[in-house]
Amino acid sequence: MYDVLIAGGGIAGLTAALYAARAGCSTLVLEQQYYGGQIVNAPLVENYPGIHRISGAELAQRVYDQALAAGAQYANAAVERAEPRDGGFALYTNRGIFAGRGLILATGAGSRPLGLDREQALTGHGVSYCAACDGGLYRGKDVAVAGGGNTALSDCLLLAQGCRRVYLIHRRSSFRGEASLLEQVRRQPNVELLTDATVTELLGEQRLEGIRIRQRRLRTLKVEGLFIAVGRQPRTEAFAGLVSLDPGGYIRAGEDCRTTKQGIFCAGDCRSKSIRQLCTAAADGAAAAIGLCESLSAEKKQA
C-alpha cells in the first residue's frame, strides 16, 4: 500500500507527487494518457512564473523528471472507480487495483463538445479539439475556431501562422480571453472575428466540408477544419459516489484542497474554483500534497 495515490498526471498531479515524495511519502501517480496533461499541447507558455518562455511539453517533462528524481513513481492506467478500504482507499484501473492510505484527485478536465449532430463522427475528419495537435494538417486551408476564451484565442494565433483564413466564432459580443491575446488576434490579417454567432450545423459526409452559423441570419462558411474551444468538463465520474461534486461536476474543495471525504484531496482543473491556470494547478498540487502528508503523519502519531 502506498502512502499517497494520485489520480492524474498533469501539472497538478505531478506537482503533488513532487511534494509528497519530498515529504517522505511513498507516492504513485496514475495517468491514463500522457504525463503533463493538456499543457503538453501548448507550443509556447509565457505566463508561468520564473520561466519567460517554454513549450508546454518541455515544462511537463521538467516537472515529471523532478517528481521521479524525488522518489515518486508513475504508471499508465485509467482510473475507473475509487472505493474506501481498511486503512485507506483503492483505485480500480484497467491495469489492476492500487491501494493507498490517502488519495489526491487531479484528473483535470476534458474538452466540452458543441453538441451538434455528427460532431463525434466527424471528430478526426475535420473536427478537432486541439489546434496544437492537428493544426499542421490544415496548412494553406480555411478553418474556423469556436470559442471566446484564452484557448480559442491561442488556437487562432497558432492556426493563423499556416492557414489561409481563420474564422473565430464567438456566441457573445465580447471575449472572455486576455486582452493581450485578443489584441494579437485582431492584428492577424487572415483572421475574421464573428461575434454574436453560433455554429448550428456541420456540413459534409465523410469529412467536414463547411459549417452553418447563425449571426442574425444563417450563413454558410466553407471550411475544412473546425477547432472547438468552448470550455472544459471535469473528469470526475469515477469519484461521484465518494466525494461531493458541484452542479458542474467539479469536486467541492476549498483552497486547502480538502474534499468532503477524510483522506481525499483534489488539485487542479477538476476542483471547484474560479481560476484555472497553470500556476494555480501547481499551487493546488503543492497544497494537496502537504495537507495529505500532514494528515497521514498525524494519523501515525495517534496510532
pLDDT tens profile 131-188: 887 899 999 999 999 999 998 999 999 999 999 999 999 999 999 999 999 999 999 9
Confidence of residue 93 (pLDDT cuts 50, 70, 90): very high
CATH number of 2-110+232-302: 3.50.50.60
Confidence of residue 303 (pLDDT cuts 50, 70, 90): low
- Name residue, grid cell 500522457: 34
pTM: 0.77
Q: Which residues neighbour 5 within 8 Å (Cβ) at sequence distance 6 or greater?
A: 27, 28, 30, 89, 91, 98, 99, 100, 102, 103, 104
Q: Looking at 3, 134, 269, 284, which residue is catalytic?
A: 134
Q: Looking at 133, 196, 256, 279, which residue is catalytic?
A: 133
Q: Return d(Cα 241, Cα 303) in angstroms, integer.
A: 28
CATH classification number, 113-228, choose in 3.40.50.2300, 2.70.70.10, 2.60.40.10, 3.50.50.60 = 3.50.50.60
* One fold for 2-110+232-302 and 113-228: yes
Active site residue 133: yes
Active site residue 130: yes
**Which pLDDT score, from 0 to 100, does residue 194 have?**
97
Active site residue 156: no
Per-domain boundaries in the chain: 2-110+232-302, 113-228
Longest dimension (CA), the chain: 70
